[in-house]
Every structure is written in C-alpha cells, then in structure tokens.
Amino acid sequence: MNRIQIDRTEAGLLDESQAIEKLADRFSAAKGSILDCGFPDQLAERLAKDFQNLCKLEGHVPRLLWIDLLKCFLRMALPTWLLAHMRLTVSLRDWTLTALGGIVTDDEKILHEIKNRWQGIFHPTQTGSNEISLHIERYVKARIELSLLTYWVRGILGPQSIDATLTVRSTGKDNLSISDWLTRCRQAGENIGLSGDGQSIRTKVIPMAQAFGAWLNPSTKGQGKNIEEFLRILLRLPDSDEDDGYLLTGTKKGGFQRVVVFPGPAVLKTMLYLVAAEKMRGAIKTRGKLVLSDLENHFSKYGVDFASSVGARPQLISELSRLGFLKGSPDAGDSAELIVPDITEFK
C-alpha cells in the first residue's frame, strides 16, 4: 500500500524549522508575563524545562505516547500556573489591607510569598476535598475587594498617585513597585485615620463587595465561572473509561465542591518520563536509580504535595505497584526504586 502524500503548503502545515521558529517567537512574546523578582522564577523554570524535555523526547518514543505525554503535561502545567497566580491576588489584597491599617509588609516576606506561590496548591486525598473551589472563591473575592481598595486609595490620594503599572520591582517612571504601592496605601490610611489589623479593615470593605454578584457567588458568576470551566481539564471525564490523564476525580455531579485529588495513571507515567528526562539532561548525566523521592519532588514543583497529606504516600506506592512502575520494595520509603522509562537514546 502506498503511503499517503500530504501537500504541506496546501494543508497549511509547517515544516520543522518553521514550527521551531514560530514556537520560539511565541516564547519570546510571553517573556513579559514572567515575574521579575530579582531571582529565577522556580515555577516558570520548571515548566519551561519540562516542556523542553518533552520536545526533545519527540522521536524517541512512539508518536501516540508522546502526544499523550504532552496532553498530560498541559493538563497539569496550565492550571498550576493559573492557580499560583491567583494566589498572588489574594496576597496582594491582604498586604493592601494591612498597609491601610498602618503596617507595610517587608520586601523579604513579599518576595518569599511570590517565590513560593505554587507550593501546596493540591493536597492528595483519599476521600474528598473542596480546596479547588476554595481557591476560586478566595481569588474572586480578593479580586473584587482589591479593586475597591484601589479606588479607595485613588480617591484619597488623587488619581496621579497610582497612575502606573504595578510590578514586583519598580523599573521606570511608568511602573509602581509593590513596596511603593503599600507605602501609599499606608499614607491613604493615615489621611483618613484608619488603624487596626487587616481583618478589621476588611470588614469595612466587605459590605461594598457584597453588592457584586460574583463576590456572593464566586464560582457561578463573572470570572470565577470562567476559571471553574477552565480548571475542569484537571477532572477525570465522567463519561469515559479511557481518560486516565487527570488529577481530580469528582465525587459529586458538577463543580469542585467535593473532589478526590490524586493523579491518574497517565499523569504518573508522564511525571516518570519528565523525571527520567531531567536526570538524563542534568549537569552529570546519570542512568542511576529513579526513586520515589524523585517523583514526589517533581510533583511538588507542580503544587502537588504528597508529603503533607496523610496516607498519600502509601496510596502512591500502591498505585505505582499496580501499574508496574515500582521496581524496588514498597517498604524502602523515599528510596523505593521506580522503573525508568526507556529513553536511553534521549539527548
């Protein structure tokens, strides 16, 4: 049987060099979305390295397997990035409230929260959790309250006082650093005689925030509804027995009110490939053992915290054993050896 010949130009397909060039342009255009904190962004660095490793892995594994790995990576990476940034809005709201009460959060604490914004987003469970729903609720409420606080400060100090783009660090006359913003919030609070902790200041804002439907129903109105729809890519498809690239399994119909947080088989396989690729591409390329702690550590970079969840590790070991990924003894703990995917030709 003759092979099907496809006219790339007519089909609108890119050749390899064009695809690489377009992808590079896309990454260059996205540099502005990386937070300039004065130190490497660990989350961005992890996602970028894993994506690069996946690209280099193409051609060394069967095509359908590679597509599955890419899909699982995207299903994990995109929600993690979004949820981590949503946390920053909550933090900025809290810092603003505290500053209005007279206390400016120090730069070291601000940078620490930004740097570690991705940690502990997901906590594996054996029963059910509403933490995803809480992430959405906290973000939407913080976003509305922060908008009101911004208008409040603007009304007290005048529009020119904050007519700039908020950045982590000030890098020009058109930018306003978080530290400068908080200093101006403190000044605004002093001008109208505000005092107290952040929570007491928040009680003055909540009545105004309750006028917004999205504040009262964060997951069903406005941006919260859109975020919930997007985060559904983490959920196991309810009507499919073939979807194993999930992180969440719903226990109730619709929404995130009760979900089990535990990676599906395809996600576990994807992480194993990413860990193995990282070891192969390290400064000292090693074909040494791939152990349980390597896998747990890689998951933690995506906000999946097995270490702090009771019963999560035994469940993980049991699932790895069931899937045939466990080579060593389950009793070895951190050092339990895992089967390394066959990517010996990977460069």
Higher pLDDT, 139 or 333: 139
The Cα diameter of the chain in Å comes to 84
State the pLDDT at residue 35. 67
**Picking from 143-147, 186-190, 305-309, 326-330, which range would have the lowest pLDDT averaged per residue?**
326-330
State the pLDDT at residue 319. 93
Contact in structure between 257 and 133 (CB atoms under 8 Å): yes
State the pLDDT at residue 328. 72
- Cα 206 to chain centroid distance, Å, stands at 28
State the pLDDT at residue 344. 53
- What is the average per-residue pLDDT within 4-20? 71
The structure tokens 């070991």 sit at 317
What angle in degrees, to the nearest 10, is found between the helix axes of 42-57 and 63-100? Answer: 170
Instruction: Measure the CA–CA gap between 251 and 198, rounded to whole angstroms.
Output: 36
The structure tokens 């390394």 sit at 340
Which 3 state secondary structure label does DSSP give 261? strand
- What is the average per-residue pLDDT within 217-246? 88
Share of the chain above pLDDT 90, in %: 55
Average pLDDT along the chain: 86
Helix (H) or strand (E) holding 165: strand 165-167
pLDDT above 80 (res 26): no
State the pLDDT at residue 2. 55
pLDDT above 90 (res 281): no
Pairing relationship of beta strands 175-177 and 165-167 according to DSSP bridges = parallel
**Picking from 5-14, 59-68, 231-240, 330-339, which range would have the lowest pLDDT averaged per residue?**
5-14
Which 3 state secondary structure label does DSSP give 167? strand
Domain ranges for the chain: 81-261
pLDDT in tens, 205-214: 999 999 999 9
Radius of gyration, alpha carbons of the chain: 23
Neighbours of 183 (CB within 10 A): 13
**Picking from 36-50, 73-87, 115-129, which range would have the lowest pLDDT averaged per residue?**
36-50
**Picking from 48-52, 115-119, 174-178, which range would have the lowest pLDDT averaged per residue?**
174-178
The residue among 203, 181, 179, 189 whose CA lies nearest residue 152 is: 189
pLDDT in tens, 241-262: 778 999 999 876 667 888 999 9
End-to-end distance of the chain based on CA atoms, in angstroms? 34
Which 3 state secondary structure label does DSSP give 337? strand
State the pLDDT at residue 144. 97
Q: How much of the chain is helix, strand and coil, in % rounded to 5?
A: 60, 5, 35
pLDDT in tens, 260-272: 999 999 999 999 9
String of DSSP letters for 121-133: SB---SS-B-HHH
State the pLDDT at residue 283. 45
Model confidence at 181, in pLDDT bands (50, 70, 90)?
Answer: very high
Which 3 state secondary structure label does DSSP give 188? helix
- What is the average per-residue pLDDT within 177-203? 92
